[in-house]
Structure 1
Amino acid sequence: MTAMSSEVRTLHVSSLHLAAVPAAVSVSRWFVRQVLRHWKLDDQIDDAALMMSELVSNAIKATGFQGRQPKLWEITAHHIIAIQLRVVDGALYIEVWDPSLLSPVKQTVTAEDEGGRGLHLVEALAKDWGIYRPPAGGKIVWAKVLLITPPHPALDESTLQLRAPVETEPPHGPVREQASTALLQRVLDGLRQLL
């Protein structure tokens, strides 16, 4: 057995599917706080929540309802996004999937502009960021943060039960499955890179 194969590698993953509605931004911040608190990565919560909310805002612009809360029957498969937090070894990945193929673009902003700084913030806070196009379709915009200490959730066999507000829960169907497959593909590809 080589030294490389005897290294302990950690993997922690938590994901959530949401309707691409304005409320998804606050739900995504809540999700980050709950998961990172459970993983005992409290020092990463503020930056990770900010990055997640910026990436979710972009996903909503690409696929969702902007500026208004839709009626439940207006939400279709096209309006589903998925968010994921993943720790592999010493890095935290903040990932947002949406079905749109359009890439987010860093905007040129002035001091007077009220918006358009999302990707600039992500770039400033993350070690790296990018776009991944999974074989399942759509895109995942991700940000990578290096960790000083690894996650260490309680080993009491309890699981973190996340409950999203009912009004943000998307309908089940093929796009929701596509989102799950895409996020899983990103995890598998990340693990393959470690080998």
Structure 2
Amino acid sequence: MPITATGDLIISLLGTPAAVGIARTLAGARLRKWDCYRILDDALLIVSELVTNAARQTPHEELRFQISRDAAGVIIAVWDSSPEIPKPKPLFELTLEDLDMDEDTFDNSGGRGLPIIQTLSTTCGVTRDPHGGKWVWARLSP
């Protein structure tokens, strides 16, 4: 597991559902080591959303997961090879009457991850990688 001199973690993962659990476990250990308990739950939710999105975008391909810190906070970033920039679904107020309880669509709640990340993070964005693909990232203040 590559760890930089500053304690940042950078690791390659395969774009599968298992990548989410691996990234959460490693991020949780790193955040605890940095005594970032106040942002731990928000950070782990952001890790889940970013890795899930990347794995769905590029299934069974390489992903890169990074968690680092600087004076302004903690940065969580995930690289995937797709050039497609993620776009959040429009937000709307959901009522019980709006829920479709049809068995085929019961768990079809995807597309809400980016608004969650925007809400929990200090700032977030997408940076195209000059070598291909993109980094989707979020910053949290400690």
TM-score by length of 1: 0.60
C-alpha distance in 2, partners of 1:33/1:18? 16
Task: Identify the residue that residue 93 of structure 1 maps to in structure 2.
Answer: 75
How much does 1:12 deviate? 4.0
Give the counterpart letter for 1:19 in structure 2: L
SS in 2 for 1:28: helix
2:30 to 31, 35, 53: 35
For the aligned residues, what is the CA RMSD?
A: 1.5
State yes or no: 1:49 paired with 2:44. yes
Structure 2, unmatched stretches of 5+, are 1-5, 100-107
1:136 to 128, 131, 135: 131
Task: Identify the residue that residue 3 of structure 2 maps to in structure 1.
Answer: none
SS in 2 for 1:21: coil
C-alpha distance in 2, partners of 1:108/1:27? 30
Task: Identify the residue that residue 24 of structure 1 maps to in structure 2.
Answer: 19
Structure 1, unmatched stretches of 5+, are 1-10, 65-74, 148-195
C-alpha distance in 2, partners of 1:146/1:40? 13
How much does 1:47 deviate? 0.5
How much does 1:136 deviate? 2.1
SS in 2 for 1:140: strand
Task: Identify the residue that residue 186 of structure 1 maps to in structure 2.
Answer: none
C-alpha distance in 1, partners of 2:76/2:19? 15
Aligned residues: 124
SS in 1 for 2:90: coil
Give the counterpart letter for 2:51 in structure 1: V
> Are the aligned partners of 1:109 and 1:116 in contact in 2 as well (CA < 8 Å)?
no
Give the counterpart letter for 2:135 in structure 1: I
Q: Give the number of the structure whose alpha-carbon radius of gyration is greater.
A: 1
C-alpha distance in 1, partners of 2:69/2:89? 29
C-alpha distance in 2, partners of 1:23/1:107? 25
1:107 to 82, 89, 92: 89
C-alpha distance in 2, partners of 1:81/1:104? 15
C-alpha distance in 2, partners of 1:136/1:48? 27
C-alpha distance in 2, partners of 1:118/1:98? 17
C-alpha distance in 1, partners of 2:7/2:131? 22
- After TM superposition, which residue ranges in structure 1, 4 or more long, deviate above 4 angstroms? none
User: Where does 1:173-192 land on structure 2 (aligned, <5 Å)?
Assistant: none
How much does 1:31 deviate? 1.4
State yes or no: 1:63 paired with 2:45. no
How much does 1:16 deviate? 1.4
Overall identity of the aligned pairs, in % = 34
1:117 to 105, 112, 115: 112
